[in-house]
Structure 1
Amino acid sequence: MTEPTDSAGASDWDSGWLRAARRLDSPNFGPRPTGACIDLLVVHSISLPPGRYGGDEVQRLFTNRLDWNAHPYFAQIRGLEVSAHFYIRRDGELWQFVSADDRAWHAGVSYWRGRDNCNDDSVGVELEGLEGDRFEEAQYRTLAMLARALSTRYPLAHVAGHEDIAPGRKRDPGPGFDWQRLAACLAGVDIALPPRH
């Protein structure tokens, strides 16, 4: 599948599902609290096992179908039930696991823009990558398209890394993520990046 175009807008949604993404439903989600203001996009990074790209292990993790015995690392995360709304592969391919109208399980204990429990009012996107490693140009383009598309449906006003909303506990996407590159891709869109970036 080729990466989505940069022009996704309001008509590209089917309820909380982005038509440009490959859909694979995760059971790991719940309702958002009444009145939740979905105004934050949280950027994560993931690879399973760490540093290995191109497999289907992330998709299997988010759908509770990972073979815990397939790799020694998986013993450390055995039984984990998590999800993100979106996943962007190294080539820019976009997957969606949870409707953006619903609450995915990606942020954990977190705090940003005066609010805690960021799962309640954020959209989580995982980039295929490893903390400290660089990310691909195709991923920045898809991430920017996703942010623009989200801003047509929700009052998206902020983008932050997992490391920003859970400092000391999480370190992704890490120093290899180029926030200035993302800012350039989002030129003309009124979305605030973390102050330190």
Structure 2
Amino acid sequence: MRLQADRQWLDAARRVESPNQDARPDPEDISLLVIHSISLPPGEFGGPWIERLFCNRLEADAHPYFREIVHLRVSAHLLIRRDGELIQFVPFTRRAWHAGASCFGGREACNDYSIGIELEGADEQPYTGAQYQRLAALIPVLQAAWPGITPARIVGHCDVAPGRKTDPGPAFDWPHLASLAQGDGT
């Protein structure tokens, strides 16, 4: 897996560009990785709904829950599906609209300086081995391009929006991800 020379897109990701993005204040100031989880409808996996939400094409009548969220204008840089498929919605050098009102280390507006990665999942349901493997392979690629993304700056949405967000939730195995990222394969 590699970044293209302009550091905007991953060669291993399927590209589905979201309109929910804009210019970063400083495209070189990327120093935080925010891990999220999403399932649409809640607790259900598969289907086209996450892509449609991120591309403003969600059908309000397709599920009762969608009526509550159809107005949202959100995106992430990447989505890792349950089977490990990687989809990129926003170039890394642009700001994805993933963290909302957020703060990390005393600095607000995390979207300005972070990369957002959604895992297809739910707080209380275990994530898949394919997702951990894909995420562990992705992290060093991003760290090589943006060295400010240190292990201490790989956080959950819950860490940048405490009290408002809980994802990726208690089912996310941070020690397992760390062990994979360090290359011991456990």
Distance apart, 1:153 and its partner CA:
1.4
Partner of 2:62, secondary structure, is: coil
TM-score, length-scaled by structure 1: 0.87
Tell me the TM-score normalized by structure 2: 0.92
Native 8 Å contact 2:59 2:70 kept in 1: no
**Match of 1:105, as an amino acid?**
W
Of 131, 138, 147, the residue aligned with 2:130 is 138
Aligned residue for 1:151?
143
- Verify the 8 A CA contact 1:104 1:119 in the aligned structure 2: yes
1:5 match: none
Kindly state the Cα deviation for residue 30 of structure 1 after the two structures are TM-superposed. 0.6
Corresponding residue SS for 2:42? coil
Q: Which residue, 94, 117, 120 being the options, matches 1:125? A: 117
* Alignment check: 8 A CA contact 1:127 1:139 kept: yes
Letter in 2 for 1:13: Q
**Deviation (angstroms), 1:14:** 4.7
Match runs of 1:1-197 below 5 Å: 8-9=1-2, 12-15=3-6, 16-34=8-26, 37-155=29-147, 156-157=149-150, 158-187=153-182
For structure 1, the residue ranges without an aligned partner over 5 or more in a row are: 1-7, 189-197
Contact 1:130 1:173 in 2 (8 A): yes
Q: Structure 1 residue 50: deviation in Å?
A: 0.6
> Gaps (5+ residues) in structure 2?
none
Tell me if structure 1 keeps the 8 A contact 2:27–2:94.
no
Residues 89-126 of structure 1: CA distance to partner in whole angstroms, max 9, x if unpaired? 00111000000000000000111123110000000000
What is the alpha-carbon root mean square deviation over aligned residues? 1.3
Structure 1 residue matching 2:116: 3-state secondary structure:
strand
